[in-house]
Structure 1
Amino acid sequence: MKKLTILLAAVMLVLSLAACTANKDAGSEPKDDGKGKKEEKKTEKVLYLNNGQEPTSLDPPIGFDAVSWNALNNIMEGLTRLDENHQPQAAIAEKWDLSEDGKTYTFHLRENAKWSNGDDVTADDFVYAWKRLLDPNTGSSAAFLGYFIQGGEEYNNGKGSADDVKVKAVDKKTFEVTLVSPQAYFLSVIANPCFFPINEGVAKENPKWFNEASTYVSNGPFKLSEWNHDSDFTMVKNDQYWDVNNVKLDKVHWAMVDDANTEYQMYTTGELDTSDVPSELADKLFKEGDVKVEDQAGLYFYRFNVTKEPFQNENIRKAFALAIDQKQMVELVTKNQEKPAYGFVSYGFKDPEGNDFREHSGDLIKTDVPKAKELLKKGMEEEDYKKLPEVTLTYNTLDTHKKIAEALQQMFKENLGVDVKLANMESSVFATDQKALKFQFSRSSFLADYADPINFLENFITGSPMNRTGWSNAEFDKMIKEAKHEKDEKKRYEMMYKAEKILLDAAPIVPIHFYNQVYLQNKDVSGIVRHPVGYLELKWADKK
């Protein structure tokens, strides 16, 4: 009786408050249909995910990494968007025309394409964004992707001007771009976040518009509603998005937890809807059958700095590379059914004759301990080393990176008799210092920006901001440049096969394993698309 009295009092209080003002759930209360039945209360659909770490930046040309892409790909949208089958489809551009020579694309933007603040998305927004990507003052690591635009490379290298970049607004909703040569993968490339438009008016009024949720202006399926730096961020459905009716989720909350075991515990308690698989639990979880595995185009690898001792010596680099047992690494350390990497280009790319690039190119750098010892001795003699200079292996802070670094440390001790020191660093500082060639030997990763082997190899051309090794080879540079302009696909693949061999023969890098996407997911969640090129697609995601 006491409980009933309390319940009645609570009901009366709610009714009296409703007489004065609508409560926060107005519109989602059950409604009477006039036949004595009540509609079900509409439940907000909220997806809970983990971003791992703070995004490097949500400025499209700067956030060129895994911890920024997932957010960017869902709050912004380019001319094209990858679909459920990972193929480029019409997005902000509803259609396009291609010139007879295959070099000039004319994109027709949707009339109802809007920014989250209600502004029209215009051709000028794309002109502004793409020139900013290529502007050397922007300092974008992704700028090289724009070199297929006429005048793009010259502008980025300081040998040309913004006016020479062949992008233009024909009118408010028509955007034209002219390429240096026909590119079979062009429509895939421009789905990458670095090619997203930027609201020119907003950016000019506030150059730091991308730093906070309160000033962020987006044009994708979601918009940023809250951003607690180094803690979490939230995105909500963007009511201005041209295809809002096909967006099912109301909200996505992203945690920032960089420990796999903590992430898994949050998943088991329902705080997260997805989780990676901790290596210690991999065997058990795979046996239980709940683990999902999907392809991913990319790999985990290490970079040697060829400008620092002792890795200026090719034989010493090769000795360290051949002392690593990639098979042991994936079976005993990472345990997520990854494939060991003995080359740089991942599996999944077919040449014109139907050969898989990786299988055809073969194992270019594979475990060989006797050879490693022989090369170390040879390299030390070449450098007149009585004792090998001290070597420090640096990795960015994450439990998985630590485990791999410790396994490498043990392999170098057992297989080469070399003591290697370990050092870890926060991701934001690590990336900056790696680009500045401050490390001797450092952890790295690559996720394909678009689906073509050239994207893997072009990272290591001389001066590329993605090179980060100090390595340079004129023959390699020439091969990549020619491949990017070659129309004959058979010839183009032959050039890429030769280029990869040049790269691995010189060993400025050592591959560890190819990525896959191994995860656990709430059975009530559907429609998340995990693109092999490295970003998550939530436009079609749903939750019961």
Structure 2
Amino acid sequence: MVSKSLRPALLAGLGLAALLLSGCQAKVSRPPCPAGEVCLAYGSNNEAGSLDPQTSNLVDEFTIIADLISGLTTDSPDGQPIPAIATSWETSPDGLIWTFHLRDDAKWSDGVPVTADDFVFAYRRILDPKTASIYSYLVYLLKNGQAVNEGKAPLTAVGARAIDAGTLELTLEHPAPYLPELLKHQSFFPVPKHAVEKWGDAWVKPGRYVSNGPYKLMSWQLGDHIEVVKNPYFYDAKNVCVDRIDYFPTPDSVMAERRVARGELDVNTSFQSNRFIRLKERMPDMVRAKNALATSYLSFNTREIKAFRDSRVRRALSESIDREFITGKLMRAGQLPAYAFVPPGTANYARGARTVWADKPLAERQAEAKRLLAAAGYGPNRKLTFDFKISNSPDTVLLASAVQADWAAIGVDAKIVQNEGQVAFAAYRNRDFGIGAMSWYADFNDPVTFLSLMKSDTGGQNYGDYKNPAYDALLNAADREPDAGKRAAILQRAEQMMLSEDAIAPIYYVVSRNLVSPRVTGWVDNVANFHRARWLCLKK
């Protein structure tokens, strides 16, 4: 429980933020739009680190990449998978071989045809150990994918084959009825073989970037914005309304509110949660909030911090957090306390797994947390201390302050270390943290996108390095189970096992929070929170 002396200070910060927003107004400023064209100004949380679909990993990067590159399938306006570069496909009776028929009018932005070889090349590249892709584990679904990524098989062993220029055959390790959902993800995007072979990893620079989606890259000014323009070679270019998009990193969410209100931004992909009620009053036609397929959670660095290898310590830290205060008093945008990892609304799943202490009153949980810490050797004479590394987004800073206070109440000293988002996640990947705060947004609508994070062979994004052979075995068994109901039950057992060991500390289920100008048309709120620019337009 947050101490009574600290709670007023946390809540007072909310009022201060409101006063700051009501301050100065400035002249509307946005890049000039050529006469007769439609231009969209798009704000996102973080600066993109990469536009390479096989080495990027943040949601803000994926937003841009998915406007530049189209995969075999793509997102409809409501986030459902629909054909893209593939017009149709067939599946073998055992569900292991998928044959995709590609569009004959698909071209890269330099006019070169998109072929099945571009997909085969892409899958070999993402699995190549030299690429060191953080998302390579998703492509383990292809036959021999893991063996290739671990250097135990040649690149040619990957289960992807170009039957001819317009026909791609994928052979899977196990049946995956969710494959059309997964193919929307950047890890399964093609890359232009001819450009990568010419430029290497530098193919992503402006002037070299070759895309096959609705837009092509024009410029990238670090710290300022990325500009893309309509790709005339896109197969559906005639139905793309927006001619140019400028993506602006806007980590200061209060400033982003002002920019949307002034017309400098047409869209911003976040706003501060505790400002939801005020924004609904002041900007009711711009606020778009919806429960998302995402969970906010904490990771324990078990690789570098010995204390976190003790499940008693992890449980003490997790169960002492007042999730109801965080969601109801701090966030206040509809977030729900999380006592599991897989969020509500996830397809192909019957939720039911919970932390074993979820139903206990907070006071009882915090008393138990003190006993667990004492049993693990920590107390007044040997205080548990560590760095609590976070990104500097307003919501995360609020969350961290509340959690820090909860931990202080049980005698734990956590030092909050703030970093810009890209820096924070680089630290997580390099295991340069004690405890980290992050949110996981579903890559595709299936429980596996959450639960596979904790597999021992996942790699970089298993930030806490949770390893349990029994957990791995359950996920592998679920992969092989053809019956949907039995598969869901196996996955629920796996989640319960992971939660019973407090491998992570789930905090709350995320609400997507977008500010969208009423000038923007074609925006459809959906649980995946995917909004491809090809569907958008602007009223004059």
* 1:361 corresponds to 2:358: no
Residue 470 of structure 1: CA displacement?
2.4
Looking at structure 2, the residues matched to 489 and 84 of structure 1 have their Cα atoms a distance apart, in angstroms, of 27
Partner-residue secondary structure (3-state), 1:208: helix
Q: Which amino acid aligns with 2:344?
A: Y
Write the mapping of 1:112-127 to structure 2, written as runs, cut at 5 A.
112-127=105-120
Tell me the residue number matched to 1:253: 246
Runs of at least 4 residues of structure 1 off by over 4 A? 362-365
Contact kept, 8 Å, 1:319 with 1:373, in 2: the verdict is: no
Tell me the residue number matched to 1:412: 407
* 1:403 corresponds to 2:398: yes
Tell me the residue number matched to 1:300: 296
Write the mapping of 1:63-78 to structure 2, written as runs, cut at 5 A.
63-78=56-71
Looking at structure 2, the residues matched to 210 and 334 of structure 1 have their Cα atoms a distance apart, in angstroms, of 41
* 1:460 corresponds to 2:454: yes
Alpha-carbon RMSD = 2.0
* 1:277 corresponds to 2:268: no
Write the mapping of 1:259-408 to structure 2, written as runs, cut at 5 A.
259-275=252-268, 276-287=270-281, 289-290=284-285, 291-307=287-303, 308-351=305-348, 357-358=350-351, 360-362=352-354, 366=358, 368-383=362-377, 386-408=381-403
Partner-residue secondary structure (3-state), 2:119: helix
Write the mapping of 1:144-543 to structure 2, written as runs, cut at 5 A.
144-275=137-268, 276-287=270-281, 289-290=284-285, 291-307=287-303, 308-351=305-348, 357-358=350-351, 360-362=352-354, 366=358, 368-383=362-377, 386-414=381-409, 416-465=410-459, 466-529=461-524, 532-543=527-538
Q: Which amino acid aligns with 2:523?
A: I
* Uncovered stretches (5+) of structure 1, i.e. residues with no partner: 1-24, 29-41
- CA offset digits 1:414-472 (Å, max 9, x no partner): 3x132321111233332232123221111111111111011110100113222111221
Residue 183 of structure 1: CA displacement?
0.9
Residue 534 of structure 1: CA displacement?
4.8
Looking at structure 1, the residues matched to 226 and 261 of structure 2 have their Cα atoms a distance apart, in angstroms, of 21
- CA offset digits 1:147-186 (Å, max 9, x no partner): 1111111111222221211111111111111112221101
Q: Which amino acid aligns with 1:480?
A: L
Using the aligned pairs only, state the percent identity: 28
From the superposition, tell whether residues 364 and 75 of structure 1 become closer, same or farther in structure 2 (CA, over 3 Å): farther
Write the mapping of 1:72-91 to structure 2, written as runs, cut at 5 A.
72-91=65-84
Residue 519 of structure 1: CA displacement?
2.4
Residue 525 of structure 1: CA displacement?
0.5
Residue 209 of structure 1: CA displacement?
3.5
Contact kept, 8 Å, 1:293 with 1:516, in 2: the verdict is: yes
From the superposition, tell whether residues 167 and 365 of structure 1 become closer, same or farther in structure 2 (CA, over 3 Å): farther
Partner-residue secondary structure (3-state), 1:89: strand
Looking at structure 2, the residues matched to 118 and 496 of structure 1 have their Cα atoms a distance apart, in angstroms, of 45
From the superposition, tell whether residues 283 and 273 of structure 1 become closer, same or farther in structure 2 (CA, over 3 Å): same
Report which of the two structures shows the higher radius of gyration computed on alpha carbons: 1
Bigger CA drift: 120-129 or 283-292?
283-292
Residue 285 of structure 1: CA displacement?
2.1
Contact kept, 8 Å, 2:72 with 2:183, in 1: the verdict is: yes
Contact kept, 8 Å, 2:274 with 2:333, in 1: the verdict is: no
Residue 518 of structure 1: CA displacement?
2.1
Tell me the residue number matched to 1:16: none
Match of 1:111 among 104, 110, 113: 104
From the superposition, tell whether residues 170 and 440 of structure 1 become closer, same or farther in structure 2 (CA, over 3 Å): same
Looking at structure 2, the residues matched to 243 and 338 of structure 1 have their Cα atoms a distance apart, in angstroms, of 37
Looking at structure 1, the residues matched to 37 and 152 of structure 2 have their Cα atoms a distance apart, in angstroms, of 53
Tell me the residue number matched to 1:44: 37
Residue 388 of structure 1: CA displacement?
2.3
Residue 350 of structure 1: CA displacement?
4.8
Contact kept, 8 Å, 1:531 with 1:537, in 2: the verdict is: no
Higher relative contact order (CA 8 A, sep 6+): 2
Bigger CA drift: 385-394 or 512-521?
385-394
Tell me the residue number matched to 2:92: 99
Looking at structure 1, the residues matched to 427 and 529 of structure 2 have their Cα atoms a distance apart, in angstroms, of 23
Tell me the residue number matched to 1:22: none
Looking at structure 1, the residues matched to 347 and 135 of structure 2 have their Cα atoms a distance apart, in angstroms, of 25
Looking at structure 2, the residues matched to 141 and 304 of structure 1 have their Cα atoms a distance apart, in angstroms, of 19
Tell me the residue number matched to 2:22: none
Residue 529 of structure 1: CA displacement?
4.4
* Uncovered stretches (5+) of structure 2, i.e. residues with no partner: 1-31
Looking at structure 2, the residues matched to 209 and 420 of structure 1 have their Cα atoms a distance apart, in angstroms, of 41
Contact kept, 8 Å, 1:394 with 1:441, in 2: the verdict is: yes
- CA offset digits 1:164-216 (Å, max 9, x no partner): 11111111111111112221101110110111111111101101344422211
Partner-residue secondary structure (3-state), 1:206: helix
- CA offset digits 1:123-162 (Å, max 9, x no partner): 1100000111111211111111111111111111222221
Residue 88 of structure 1: CA displacement?
1.6
Tell me the residue number matched to 1:134: 127
Q: Which amino acid aligns with 2:419?
A: M
Looking at structure 2, the residues matched to 426 and 278 of structure 1 have their Cα atoms a distance apart, in angstroms, of 16
Tell me the residue number matched to 2:6: none
Looking at structure 2, the residues matched to 470 and 376 of structure 1 have their Cα atoms a distance apart, in angstroms, of 25
Q: Which amino acid aligns with 2:296?
A: Y
Partner-residue secondary structure (3-state), 1:311: helix
Looking at structure 1, the residues matched to 525 and 57 of structure 2 have their Cα atoms a distance apart, in angstroms, of 17
Looking at structure 1, the residues matched to 241 and 230 of structure 2 have their Cα atoms a distance apart, in angstroms, of 8
Looking at structure 2, the residues matched to 394 and 226 of structure 1 have their Cα atoms a distance apart, in angstroms, of 32
Looking at structure 2, the residues matched to 536 and 154 of structure 1 have their Cα atoms a distance apart, in angstroms, of 35
Write the mapping of 1:8-23 to structure 2, written as runs, cut at 5 A.
none
Q: TM-score scaled to structure 2, two decimals?
A: 0.88
Q: Which amino acid aligns with 1:215?
A: R
- CA offset digits 1:248-278 (Å, max 9, x no partner): 1111111112111010011111101123333
Residue 113 of structure 1: CA displacement?
0.2
Number of residue pairs the alignment of both structures matches: 499
Contact kept, 8 Å, 2:312 with 2:376, in 1: the verdict is: no
Looking at structure 1, the residues matched to 90 and 489 of structure 2 have their Cα atoms a distance apart, in angstroms, of 31
Q: Which amino acid aligns with 2:433?
A: F
Looking at structure 1, the residues matched to 357 and 197 of structure 2 have their Cα atoms a distance apart, in angstroms, of 49
Looking at structure 2, the residues matched to 211 and 149 of structure 1 have their Cα atoms a distance apart, in angstroms, of 25
Looking at structure 1, the residues matched to 515 and 427 of structure 2 have their Cα atoms a distance apart, in angstroms, of 34
Q: Which amino acid aligns with 2:447?
A: P
